[in-house]
Amino acid sequence: MLTALDGTYGDRADAVAVAGRTASYEELLGAARAVAADVAGAPAFAVTATASLETVAAAVGGLLAGVPFVPLPPDAGPAERKHILRDSGAALTTVDFARRSDATVPRDAAGPRDPALILYTSGTTGPPKGVVLTADALAADLDALAAAWRWTAEDTLVHGLPLFHVHGLVLGVLGALRTGSRLVHTGRPTPEAYAGAGGSLYFGVPTVWSRIAAEPAAAAALSGARLLVSGSAALPAPVFRDLERLTGHRPVERYGMTETLITVSGRAGGEVRPGTVGTPLPGIRTRIAAEPGADIGELQLTGPTLFAGYLGRPEATAAAYTEDGWFRTGDIAAVDPDDGVHRIVGRASIDMIKSGGYRIGAGEIENALLDHPKVSEAAVVGVPDADLGQRIVAFVVAQGVTGAELTDFVASHLSVHKRPREVRFVAAIPRNAMGKPQKKLLLTDDARGARP
């Protein structure tokens, strides 16, 4: 699985760097073997997944021992930590990177289809669920992405993403160890850290890219890179254009979920358009479940990267699939009939707005609002309306512009029926650790006090 650790790509003192600390593959393997010896035979083990060499060693150690690794978010509250540990049956483990072993760890009966990682969902619809990912799903995804992005041992991967999500842990750590690319984790994903890392391949979420685009000198330092990749949330079109202007690169976007890993992506060297996430990776099939006459609908997919199920929740697992075996993403998408390029509109639960008989994607309106020079953030939701069914309400962070001006601006860019019926000004759009807008928080009593 982790080809870099078997000597295929040689070794060097700074093969892995995390928050200013470096390690060779040999040193990492020694620390991981010590972890593997500690956890061998356990049903699962958990580590507080800080941005550290200890977390990297824990992830590798779990794979060596054939024991599922459960990364705990460092900022998880006591109730969330207790739930994850109880639900997964994992013992909380402390890793000492200085303690290394050269002993061969005997694996138990765990195979490529057995659990390798258990990642927990955000819990927006109840207690977080454990998503079981197998080694073969991880390998299939990383190999497909390596081909799509031309990712090789000649690259230096740079990112500063959390190590308890797919983006930072699977792509950003295991991906580097599978392709043999040097890994530089910046600790915090600041523009200055990205600019000084000297990478050829950069991963970021929209918040990271937005901050880099706001620092022209830092952005210009990335001009020597080979590829910029954005994910975990939609990259606003203005940020895309700013990055292209400042770095000379058109960032590649990709789409995935914890349950599916990355399934759709733009390609290195291919045509990249803002607001799109490319085409399915090899082995992935997608379809749009749209109502008659609609050009958008739920994205459903199947392929080798899908999860093995929700831990201990067979009913929830079954409900995640259609009767004919396709995974229901819950995301609304459209596919270009000419080239198959996918565009993600938003979540079905909150981003599909049914207003006045029309089905409208919130993401399209958000991108239109973000094209206004005085708007820095935008989130669009549908709220119940006796006449329209749902009324389009836009929450924006902006200065020097009125709600009426923004409504007219959207109407001039999109169909008139897609214009916001109400614009509310807020100080900031609430987001999670990966930069995804938390729209339900905008509809709380406190948010309703936003300035109209």
| Whether 20 and 163 share a structural domain | yes
Please enumerate in sequence order all residues whose Cβ is within 8 A of that of 10, keeping only pairs 6 or more positions apart, or say none: none
In a domain, 372, yes or no: yes
For residues 97 and 105, give the distance between their C-alpha atoms in angstroms, rounded to a whole number.
17
Adjacent-strand bridge partners of 178? none
In a domain, 175, yes or no: yes
| Whether 34 and 182 share a structural domain | yes
pLDDT of residue 110: 54
For residues 139 and 170, give the distance between their C-alpha atoms in angstroms, rounded to a whole number.
10
For residues 395 and 381, give the distance between their C-alpha atoms in angstroms, rounded to a whole number.
8
DSSP string, 67-129: --EEEEPTT--HHHHHHHHHHHTPEE----TT----SPPPP-S--TTSEEEEEE---TTSSPP
| Whether 38 and 150 share a structural domain | yes
Give me 77's structure tokens. Answer: 């509250």
CATH number, position 423: 3.30.300.30
pTM for the model stands at: 0.83
| Whether 251 and 357 share a structural domain | no
In a domain, 324, yes or no: no
SS3 assignment, position 184: strand
In a domain, 276, yes or no: no
Per this entry, what is the length of the chain? 452
| Whether 97 and 243 share a structural domain | yes
Do 147 and 242 contact (CB within 8 A), yes or no? no
Terminal Cα distance for the chain, rounded = 54
| Whether 12 and 160 share a structural domain | yes
Give me 213's structure tokens. Answer: 């685009």
Please enumerate in sequence order all residues whose Cβ is within 8 A of that of 399, keeping only pairs 6 or more positions apart, or say none: 374
- Final residue belonging to a domain, choices 223, 255, 287: 255
In a domain, 297, yes or no: no
Q: Mean pLDDT, to the nearest integer, of 105-109?
A: 53
In a domain, 285, yes or no: no
Is the model's pLDDT at 286 over the cut of 50?
A: yes
Residue identified by tokens 């070794």 is 11
Rg, the chain, Cα only: 22
For residue range 173-217, list pLDDT tens digits in order: 999 999 999 999 999 999 999 999 999 999 999 889 999 999 999
Average pLDDT, the chain: 91
For residues 136 and 356, give the distance between their C-alpha atoms in angstroms, rounded to a whole number.
46
| Whether 230 and 368 share a structural domain | no
Q: Which amino acid is at 280?
A: P
445 pLDDT band (50/70/90 cuts)? very low
CATH number, position 251: 3.40.50.12780
> Which residues form the domain of 40?
3-255
Q: Which amino acid is at 352?
A: M
For residue range 137-157, list pLDDT tens digits in order: 999 999 999 999 999 999 999
- Final residue belonging to a domain, choices 233, 255, 277: 255
In a domain, 295, yes or no: no
Q: Mean pLDDT, to the nearest integer, of 40-53?
A: 96
Q: Which amino acid is at 28?
A: L
Closest Cα partner for 89 from 296, 312, 353?
A: 312
Do 376 and 410 contact (CB within 8 A), yes or no? no
Please enumerate in sequence order all residues whose Cβ is within 8 A of that of 388, keeping only pairs 6 or more positions apart, or say none: 355, 356, 421
Do 193 and 19 contact (CB within 8 A), yes or no? no
| Whether 214 and 77 share a structural domain | yes
Number of folded domains that form the chain = 2
Q: Mean pLDDT, to the nearest integer, of 20-44?
A: 95
In a domain, 308, yes or no: no
For residues 137 and 116, give the distance between their C-alpha atoms in angstroms, rounded to a whole number.
9
Distances (CA, A) of 296 to 221, 346, 357, 361: 39, 10, 14, 8
Do 382 and 390 contact (CB within 8 A), yes or no? yes
- Final residue belonging to a domain, choices 255, 288, 313: 255
For residue range 311-342, list pLDDT tens digits in order: 999 999 999 999 999 999 999 999 999 999 99
Q: Mean pLDDT, to the nearest integer, of 46-52?
A: 97
